[in-house]
Structure 1
Amino acid sequence: MQYLKDEVKNSILQAALSEFMRHGYSNASMRQIANLAGITPGNIYRYFKNKEDLFQELIHPVYEKFIQYLMEIKDDFDDSYCVINTTNPLDYLRKVESTIVELFKESNVELRILLNLSSGSSYEPVKQELIQLAAHILMKVFIPGEDQQDQAMIEERNLAHMLAGTLIEGVCIILRDHEDGETVRQLVDELLRVYCAGIISRLNI
Protein backbone atom coordinates (compact mmCIF):
# COMPACT_ATOMS: atom_id res chain seq x y z
CA MET A 1 0.00 0.00 0.00
CA GLN A 2 2.79 2.45 0.90
CA TYR A 3 4.53 1.61 -2.37
CA LEU A 4 1.38 2.54 -4.30
CA LYS A 5 1.06 5.82 -2.37
CA ASP A 6 4.70 6.70 -3.11
CA GLU A 7 4.16 5.83 -6.77
CA VAL A 8 1.12 8.10 -7.01
CA LYS A 9 2.93 10.93 -5.22
CA ASN A 10 5.91 10.63 -7.59
CA SER A 11 3.54 10.68 -10.56
CA ILE A 12 1.97 13.88 -9.24
CA LEU A 13 5.40 15.49 -8.74
CA GLN A 14 6.55 14.60 -12.25
CA ALA A 15 3.29 15.86 -13.74
CA ALA A 16 3.55 19.08 -11.71
CA LEU A 17 7.14 19.65 -12.81
CA SER A 18 6.02 19.39 -16.42
CA GLU A 19 3.02 21.68 -15.87
CA PHE A 20 5.04 24.34 -14.01
CA MET A 21 7.71 24.25 -16.69
CA ARG A 22 5.15 24.78 -19.44
CA HIS A 23 2.92 27.37 -17.80
CA GLY A 24 4.70 28.77 -14.75
CA TYR A 25 3.32 28.77 -11.23
CA SER A 26 0.57 31.34 -11.76
CA ASN A 27 -0.98 29.66 -14.80
CA ALA A 28 -0.45 26.04 -13.79
CA SER A 29 -3.64 24.03 -13.25
CA MET A 30 -4.09 21.48 -10.48
CA ARG A 31 -6.72 19.79 -12.66
CA GLN A 32 -4.23 19.45 -15.51
CA ILE A 33 -1.57 18.13 -13.12
CA ALA A 34 -4.05 15.49 -11.94
CA ASN A 35 -4.86 14.58 -15.56
CA LEU A 36 -1.18 14.23 -16.41
CA ALA A 37 -0.64 12.07 -13.32
CA GLY A 38 -3.58 9.86 -14.26
CA ILE A 39 -5.63 10.55 -11.13
CA THR A 40 -8.81 12.44 -10.31
CA PRO A 41 -8.48 16.14 -9.34
CA GLY A 42 -9.87 15.37 -5.88
CA ASN A 43 -7.27 12.68 -5.26
CA ILE A 44 -4.37 15.12 -5.68
CA TYR A 45 -5.42 16.88 -2.47
CA ARG A 46 -4.82 13.71 -0.48
CA TYR A 47 -1.13 14.32 -1.11
CA PHE A 48 -0.84 18.12 -1.32
CA LYS A 49 -2.91 20.82 0.39
CA ASN A 50 -2.85 23.19 -2.56
CA LYS A 51 -0.76 24.34 -5.51
CA GLU A 52 1.69 26.28 -3.32
CA ASP A 53 2.31 23.16 -1.22
CA LEU A 54 3.00 21.12 -4.35
CA PHE A 55 5.25 23.85 -5.79
CA GLN A 56 7.22 24.03 -2.55
CA GLU A 57 7.78 20.28 -2.52
CA LEU A 58 9.42 20.54 -5.94
CA ILE A 59 11.29 23.84 -5.70
CA HIS A 60 12.32 24.22 -2.06
CA PRO A 61 15.36 21.88 -2.19
CA VAL A 62 17.02 23.81 -5.03
CA TYR A 63 15.94 27.11 -3.44
CA GLU A 64 17.67 26.19 -0.16
CA LYS A 65 20.90 25.32 -1.96
CA PHE A 66 20.69 28.45 -4.09
CA ILE A 67 20.20 30.82 -1.14
CA GLN A 68 22.85 29.05 0.93
CA TYR A 69 25.45 29.42 -1.83
CA LEU A 70 24.55 33.06 -2.45
CA MET A 71 24.81 33.91 1.24
CA GLU A 72 28.20 32.21 1.43
CA ILE A 73 29.41 34.28 -1.52
CA LYS A 74 28.02 37.50 0.01
CA ASP A 75 29.55 36.79 3.44
CA ASP A 76 32.93 35.97 1.90
CA PHE A 77 32.75 39.10 -0.24
CA ASP A 78 31.84 41.33 2.72
CA ASP A 79 34.54 39.79 4.92
CA SER A 80 37.19 40.31 2.26
CA TYR A 81 36.33 44.02 2.05
CA CYS A 82 36.47 44.57 5.79
CA VAL A 83 40.24 44.59 5.42
CA ILE A 84 42.50 46.04 2.76
CA ASN A 85 42.91 43.54 -0.01
CA THR A 86 43.41 43.40 -3.74
CA THR A 87 40.67 40.91 -4.59
CA ASN A 88 38.89 41.90 -7.78
CA PRO A 89 35.15 42.29 -7.04
CA LEU A 90 34.42 40.92 -10.51
CA ASP A 91 35.84 37.58 -9.34
CA TYR A 92 32.77 37.30 -7.10
CA LEU A 93 30.47 37.67 -10.09
CA ARG A 94 32.26 34.66 -11.52
CA LYS A 95 31.51 32.78 -8.29
CA VAL A 96 27.84 33.64 -8.70
CA GLU A 97 28.03 32.40 -12.29
CA SER A 98 29.67 29.13 -11.20
CA THR A 99 27.00 28.58 -8.56
CA ILE A 100 24.19 29.03 -11.09
CA VAL A 101 25.83 26.73 -13.63
CA GLU A 102 26.52 23.98 -11.09
CA LEU A 103 22.97 24.12 -9.72
CA PHE A 104 21.67 24.02 -13.28
CA LYS A 105 23.58 20.79 -13.86
CA GLU A 106 22.11 19.29 -10.67
CA SER A 107 18.52 20.55 -10.96
CA ASN A 108 17.99 21.80 -14.49
CA VAL A 109 14.20 22.12 -14.58
CA GLU A 110 13.75 23.19 -10.97
CA LEU A 111 16.27 26.06 -11.29
CA ARG A 112 14.69 27.25 -14.53
CA ILE A 113 11.29 27.31 -12.83
CA LEU A 114 12.68 29.04 -9.73
CA LEU A 115 14.29 31.90 -11.65
CA ASN A 116 11.88 32.29 -14.56
CA LEU A 117 8.49 30.83 -13.70
CA SER A 118 7.84 31.36 -9.99
CA SER A 119 5.78 34.56 -10.31
CA GLY A 120 2.84 34.48 -7.92
CA SER A 121 4.50 32.05 -5.52
CA SER A 122 6.45 32.65 -2.32
CA TYR A 123 9.63 32.19 -4.38
CA GLU A 124 8.95 35.13 -6.68
CA PRO A 125 11.50 37.44 -4.91
CA VAL A 126 14.42 35.07 -5.59
CA LYS A 127 15.48 36.70 -8.84
CA GLN A 128 15.45 40.12 -7.18
CA GLU A 129 17.64 38.76 -4.38
CA LEU A 130 20.12 37.57 -6.99
CA ILE A 131 20.07 40.99 -8.66
CA GLN A 132 20.67 42.66 -5.29
CA LEU A 133 23.74 40.49 -4.69
CA ALA A 134 25.14 41.29 -8.14
CA ALA A 135 24.49 45.01 -7.52
CA HIS A 136 26.17 44.76 -4.10
CA ILE A 137 29.28 43.36 -5.78
CA LEU A 138 29.24 45.87 -8.63
CA MET A 139 28.96 48.82 -6.25
CA LYS A 140 32.40 47.86 -4.92
CA VAL A 141 33.67 48.05 -8.50
CA PHE A 142 32.29 51.53 -9.14
CA ILE A 143 32.59 52.88 -5.56
CA PRO A 144 35.70 51.22 -4.14
CA GLY A 145 36.27 53.78 -1.38
CA GLU A 146 34.08 55.18 1.36
CA ASP A 147 30.37 55.46 0.64
CA GLN A 148 29.31 59.02 -0.12
CA GLN A 149 26.04 60.75 -0.95
CA ASP A 150 27.10 63.15 -3.69
CA GLN A 151 25.49 63.04 -7.12
CA ALA A 152 28.36 61.08 -8.70
CA MET A 153 28.02 58.30 -6.14
CA ILE A 154 24.26 58.15 -6.65
CA GLU A 155 24.82 57.78 -10.39
CA GLU A 156 27.33 54.99 -9.81
CA ARG A 157 24.87 53.14 -7.59
CA ASN A 158 22.17 53.46 -10.22
CA LEU A 159 24.60 52.13 -12.84
CA ALA A 160 25.49 49.16 -10.64
CA HIS A 161 21.81 48.28 -10.16
CA MET A 162 21.07 48.64 -13.87
CA LEU A 163 23.99 46.43 -14.90
CA ALA A 164 23.12 43.84 -12.24
CA GLY A 165 19.53 43.69 -13.44
CA THR A 166 20.39 43.29 -17.11
CA LEU A 167 23.14 40.75 -16.35
CA ILE A 168 20.88 38.51 -14.25
CA GLU A 169 18.03 38.83 -16.76
CA GLY A 170 20.48 37.73 -19.45
CA VAL A 171 21.48 34.68 -17.39
CA CYS A 172 17.82 33.81 -16.82
CA ILE A 173 17.10 34.00 -20.55
CA ILE A 174 19.99 31.58 -21.19
CA LEU A 175 18.57 29.19 -18.59
CA ARG A 176 15.12 29.52 -20.14
CA ASP A 177 16.22 28.81 -23.69
CA HIS A 178 18.82 26.05 -23.24
CA GLU A 179 18.78 22.66 -21.53
CA ASP A 180 22.34 21.46 -22.09
CA GLY A 181 24.63 22.26 -19.15
CA GLU A 182 27.74 22.83 -21.25
CA THR A 183 25.90 25.20 -23.59
CA VAL A 184 24.59 27.14 -20.60
CA ARG A 185 28.09 27.36 -19.12
CA GLN A 186 29.58 28.64 -22.39
CA LEU A 187 26.88 31.23 -22.93
CA VAL A 188 26.93 32.48 -19.34
CA ASP A 189 30.75 32.65 -19.51
CA GLU A 190 30.53 34.73 -22.67
CA LEU A 191 27.85 37.00 -21.23
CA LEU A 192 29.93 37.63 -18.12
CA ARG A 193 33.09 38.16 -20.19
CA VAL A 194 31.37 40.84 -22.28
CA TYR A 195 30.00 42.57 -19.17
CA CYS A 196 33.33 42.49 -17.36
CA ALA A 197 35.19 43.77 -20.43
CA GLY A 198 32.76 46.68 -20.71
CA ILE A 199 33.04 47.48 -17.00
CA ILE A 200 36.84 47.39 -17.08
CA SER A 201 36.88 49.56 -20.20
CA ARG A 202 34.65 52.14 -18.51
CA LEU A 203 36.83 52.23 -15.39
CA ASN A 204 39.91 52.84 -17.50
CA ILE A 205 38.39 55.86 -19.22
Structure 2
Amino acid sequence: MQILKDNVRNSIIKYAEEEFLEKGFTDASLRTIAARVGISVSTIYSYYKNKDELMTAVCRPFIDSMMQITKERHSESTTLEDMMDIEKQQETAKLFISFVTKYRDIIRLILYKSEGSTVNNFRDNYTDATTAHILWFFGKMKMKYPHINTDISTFFIHANCAWMLSIIGEMASHDLSDSELDKFASDFVHFSTSGWASLFGVDVK
Protein backbone atom coordinates (compact mmCIF):
# COMPACT_ATOMS: atom_id res chain seq x y z
CA MET A 1 0.00 0.00 0.00
CA GLN A 2 2.84 2.41 0.86
CA ILE A 3 4.48 1.69 -2.50
CA LEU A 4 1.22 2.58 -4.26
CA LYS A 5 0.96 5.83 -2.29
CA ASP A 6 4.54 6.72 -3.15
CA ASN A 7 3.89 6.02 -6.83
CA VAL A 8 0.85 8.30 -6.79
CA ARG A 9 2.79 11.01 -4.96
CA ASN A 10 5.66 10.79 -7.44
CA SER A 11 3.25 11.00 -10.37
CA ILE A 12 1.55 14.05 -8.88
CA ILE A 13 4.94 15.74 -8.48
CA LYS A 14 5.98 14.83 -12.03
CA TYR A 15 2.87 16.18 -13.73
CA ALA A 16 2.61 19.16 -11.41
CA GLU A 17 6.12 20.20 -12.42
CA GLU A 18 5.14 19.97 -16.09
CA GLU A 19 1.95 21.98 -15.52
CA PHE A 20 3.70 24.68 -13.47
CA LEU A 21 6.48 25.00 -16.06
CA GLU A 22 4.00 25.23 -18.91
CA LYS A 23 1.54 27.69 -17.37
CA GLY A 24 3.22 29.22 -14.33
CA PHE A 25 1.93 28.81 -10.79
CA THR A 26 -1.06 31.15 -11.06
CA ASP A 27 -2.57 29.60 -14.20
CA ALA A 28 -1.69 25.99 -13.40
CA SER A 29 -4.71 23.75 -12.85
CA LEU A 30 -5.01 21.00 -10.25
CA ARG A 31 -7.76 19.53 -12.41
CA THR A 32 -5.34 19.19 -15.32
CA ILE A 33 -2.68 17.66 -13.07
CA ALA A 34 -5.18 15.16 -11.70
CA ALA A 35 -6.32 14.19 -15.20
CA ARG A 36 -2.74 13.58 -16.32
CA VAL A 37 -2.06 11.41 -13.28
CA GLY A 38 -5.37 9.58 -13.70
CA ILE A 39 -6.79 10.49 -10.30
CA SER A 40 -9.40 12.87 -8.92
CA VAL A 41 -8.65 16.37 -7.64
CA SER A 42 -9.77 15.22 -4.20
CA THR A 43 -6.97 12.64 -4.25
CA ILE A 44 -4.43 15.42 -4.76
CA TYR A 45 -5.90 17.15 -1.71
CA SER A 46 -5.31 13.99 0.31
CA TYR A 47 -1.58 14.50 -0.34
CA TYR A 48 -1.31 18.30 -0.47
CA LYS A 49 -3.67 20.76 1.21
CA ASN A 50 -3.53 23.27 -1.66
CA LYS A 51 -1.74 24.22 -4.88
CA ASP A 52 0.86 26.25 -2.99
CA GLU A 53 1.89 23.26 -0.89
CA LEU A 54 2.17 21.16 -4.05
CA MET A 55 4.36 23.82 -5.66
CA THR A 56 6.62 23.79 -2.60
CA ALA A 57 6.85 19.99 -2.75
CA VAL A 58 7.89 20.15 -6.41
CA CYS A 59 10.67 22.63 -5.62
CA ARG A 60 11.74 21.25 -2.22
CA PRO A 61 14.58 18.96 -3.44
CA PHE A 62 16.38 21.88 -5.09
CA ILE A 63 15.73 24.31 -2.22
CA ASP A 64 17.03 21.90 0.43
CA SER A 65 20.03 20.86 -1.68
CA MET A 66 20.95 24.47 -2.43
CA MET A 67 21.09 25.37 1.25
CA GLN A 68 23.01 22.19 2.05
CA ILE A 69 25.65 22.96 -0.58
CA THR A 70 26.09 26.47 0.83
CA LYS A 71 26.61 25.14 4.35
CA GLU A 72 29.00 22.39 3.23
CA ARG A 73 31.15 24.81 1.21
CA HIS A 74 31.33 27.24 4.14
CA SER A 75 31.66 25.06 7.23
CA GLU A 76 33.92 25.02 10.28
CA SER A 77 36.10 22.43 8.53
CA THR A 78 36.69 24.65 5.46
CA THR A 79 40.27 25.89 5.31
CA LEU A 80 41.71 29.05 3.83
CA GLU A 81 44.00 26.86 1.73
CA ASP A 82 40.99 25.13 0.17
CA MET A 83 39.34 28.45 -0.62
CA MET A 84 42.46 29.78 -2.35
CA ASP A 85 43.27 26.58 -4.27
CA ILE A 86 42.26 27.20 -7.90
CA GLU A 87 42.23 23.51 -8.85
CA LYS A 88 40.03 22.53 -5.91
CA GLN A 89 37.68 25.41 -6.59
CA GLN A 90 37.40 24.39 -10.25
CA GLU A 91 36.42 20.87 -9.23
CA THR A 92 33.81 22.32 -6.89
CA ALA A 93 32.52 24.56 -9.70
CA LYS A 94 32.13 21.56 -12.02
CA LEU A 95 30.15 19.68 -9.37
CA PHE A 96 27.96 22.75 -8.92
CA ILE A 97 27.34 22.96 -12.67
CA SER A 98 26.21 19.32 -12.60
CA PHE A 99 23.86 20.23 -9.76
CA VAL A 100 22.37 23.14 -11.73
CA THR A 101 21.98 20.92 -14.81
CA LYS A 102 20.13 18.31 -12.73
CA TYR A 103 17.65 20.87 -11.38
CA ARG A 104 17.48 23.08 -14.47
CA ASP A 105 13.69 22.97 -14.86
CA ILE A 106 13.05 23.49 -11.14
CA ILE A 107 15.39 26.49 -11.12
CA ARG A 108 13.51 28.08 -14.01
CA LEU A 109 10.24 27.32 -12.27
CA ILE A 110 11.32 28.95 -9.00
CA LEU A 111 12.96 32.02 -10.48
CA TYR A 112 10.63 32.79 -13.38
CA LYS A 113 7.27 31.02 -12.99
CA SER A 114 6.47 30.97 -9.26
CA GLU A 115 4.69 34.32 -8.88
CA GLY A 116 1.73 33.98 -6.53
CA SER A 117 3.25 31.09 -4.57
CA THR A 118 5.24 30.86 -1.36
CA VAL A 119 8.17 29.61 -3.44
CA ASN A 120 8.33 33.03 -5.08
CA ASN A 121 9.98 34.21 -1.84
CA PHE A 122 12.88 31.81 -2.34
CA ARG A 123 15.20 34.41 -3.87
CA ASP A 124 14.89 36.76 -0.89
CA ASN A 125 14.85 33.97 1.70
CA TYR A 126 17.92 32.28 0.23
CA THR A 127 19.83 35.55 -0.08
CA ASP A 128 19.09 36.51 3.53
CA ALA A 129 19.86 33.04 4.92
CA THR A 130 23.07 32.73 2.92
CA THR A 131 24.23 36.21 3.90
CA ALA A 132 23.76 35.31 7.57
CA HIS A 133 25.62 32.03 7.09
CA ILE A 134 28.55 33.68 5.28
CA LEU A 135 28.87 36.26 8.07
CA TRP A 136 28.97 33.40 10.58
CA PHE A 137 31.54 31.62 8.41
CA PHE A 138 33.76 34.70 8.19
CA GLY A 139 33.67 34.95 11.97
CA LYS A 140 34.91 31.36 12.24
CA MET A 141 37.59 31.99 9.63
CA LYS A 142 38.83 35.05 11.52
CA MET A 143 39.22 32.94 14.66
CA LYS A 144 41.28 30.35 12.75
CA TYR A 145 43.26 32.87 10.69
CA PRO A 146 43.59 36.11 12.68
CA HIS A 147 45.76 37.69 9.99
CA ILE A 148 43.03 37.74 7.31
CA ASN A 149 40.73 40.69 6.73
CA THR A 150 37.05 39.91 7.27
CA ASP A 151 35.90 43.52 7.58
CA ILE A 152 33.81 43.19 4.43
CA SER A 153 30.60 45.08 3.73
CA THR A 154 27.53 43.09 4.76
CA PHE A 155 25.68 44.50 1.79
CA PHE A 156 28.49 43.35 -0.51
CA ILE A 157 28.03 39.82 0.83
CA HIS A 158 24.26 40.15 0.43
CA ALA A 159 24.61 41.37 -3.16
CA ASN A 160 27.10 38.59 -3.94
CA CYS A 161 24.63 35.95 -2.69
CA ALA A 162 21.86 37.47 -4.83
CA TRP A 163 24.25 37.58 -7.79
CA MET A 164 24.91 33.85 -7.44
CA LEU A 165 21.20 33.17 -7.88
CA SER A 166 21.20 35.33 -11.01
CA ILE A 167 24.10 33.30 -12.38
CA ILE A 168 22.27 30.07 -11.60
CA GLY A 169 19.20 31.41 -13.37
CA GLU A 170 21.23 32.32 -16.45
CA MET A 171 22.86 28.89 -16.52
CA ALA A 172 19.46 27.21 -16.29
CA SER A 173 17.99 29.42 -19.03
CA HIS A 174 20.67 28.87 -21.68
CA ASP A 175 21.51 25.69 -23.57
CA LEU A 176 25.28 25.75 -23.10
CA SER A 177 27.66 23.14 -24.45
CA ASP A 178 30.03 21.22 -22.17
CA SER A 179 32.96 23.26 -23.44
CA GLU A 180 31.12 26.53 -22.75
CA LEU A 181 30.29 25.38 -19.22
CA ASP A 182 33.90 24.32 -18.61
CA LYS A 183 35.16 27.70 -19.80
CA PHE A 184 32.62 29.48 -17.63
CA ALA A 185 33.67 27.43 -14.59
CA SER A 186 37.34 28.23 -15.17
CA ASP A 187 36.77 31.95 -15.71
CA PHE A 188 34.41 32.23 -12.76
CA VAL A 189 36.78 30.46 -10.36
CA HIS A 190 39.74 32.64 -11.34
CA PHE A 191 37.63 35.78 -11.04
CA SER A 192 35.98 34.95 -7.71
CA THR A 193 39.00 33.36 -6.03
CA SER A 194 41.25 36.28 -6.91
CA GLY A 195 38.61 38.70 -5.70
CA TRP A 196 38.14 37.03 -2.32
CA ALA A 197 41.91 36.67 -1.94
CA SER A 198 42.28 40.41 -2.46
CA LEU A 199 39.59 41.17 0.12
CA PHE A 200 41.07 38.72 2.64
CA GLY A 201 44.57 40.07 2.00
CA VAL A 202 46.05 36.67 1.08
CA ASP A 203 47.60 35.00 -1.97
CA VAL A 204 45.95 32.57 -4.38
CA LYS A 205 47.61 29.15 -4.68
Structure 1 residue 192, shift from structure 2 partner: 1.7
1:145 maps onto 2:136 in alignment:
no
Residues 174 and 188, structure 1, Cα contact 8 Å, conserved in 2: no
Residue of structure 2 equivalent to 1:33: 33
CA distance in 2, matches of 1:187, 1:130: 30
Structure 1 residue 169, shift from structure 2 partner: 0.5
Structure 1 residue 175, shift from structure 2 partner: 1.0
Letter in 2 for 1:192: F
Of 26-35 and 11-20, the range deviating more from structure 2 = 26-35
Letter in 1 for 2:42: G
Give the unaligned 5+ runs of structure 1: 148-152
Residue of structure 1 equivalent to 2:19: 19
CA distance in 2, matches of 1:18, 1:168: 22
Structure 1 residue 18, shift from structure 2 partner: 0.4
Structure 1 residue 16, shift from structure 2 partner: 0.2
Matches within 5 A, 1:168-183: 168-178=165-175, 182=178
RMSD over aligned Cα, in angstroms? 4.6
Calculate the TM-score normalised by the size of structure 1: 0.60
Residue of structure 2 equivalent to 1:75: 75
SS in 1 for 2:118: coil
1:102 maps onto 2:98 in alignment:
yes
Residues 83 and 89, structure 2, Cα contact 8 Å, conserved in 1: no
Residues 127 and 161, structure 2, Cα contact 8 Å, conserved in 1: no
Percent identity over paired residues = 19
Give the unaligned 5+ runs of structure 2: 142-147, 200-205
CA deviation vs aligned residue, 1:26-51 (integer Å, no higher than 9, x gap): 54332332243344433422332222
Residue of structure 1 equivalent to 2:127: 128
CA distance in 2, matches of 1:196, 1:109: 26
Structure 1 residue 172, shift from structure 2 partner: 1.2
Residues 73 and 95, structure 1, Cα contact 8 Å, conserved in 2: no
Letter in 2 for 1:103: F
CA distance in 2, matches of 1:187, 1:36: 41
CA distance in 2, matches of 1:101, 1:16: 25
Structure 1 residue 57, shift from structure 2 partner: 3.2
Structure 1 residue 60, shift from structure 2 partner: 2.3
SS in 2 for 1:66: helix
Query: May I ask how many residue pairs the two structures share in their alignment?
Result: 189
Structure 1 residue 68, shift from structure 2 partner: 1.8
CA distance in 1, matches of 2:180, 2:64: 22
CA distance in 1, matches of 2:49, 2:177: 34
CA distance in 2, matches of 1:90, 1:113: 34
Letter in 1 for 2:167: G
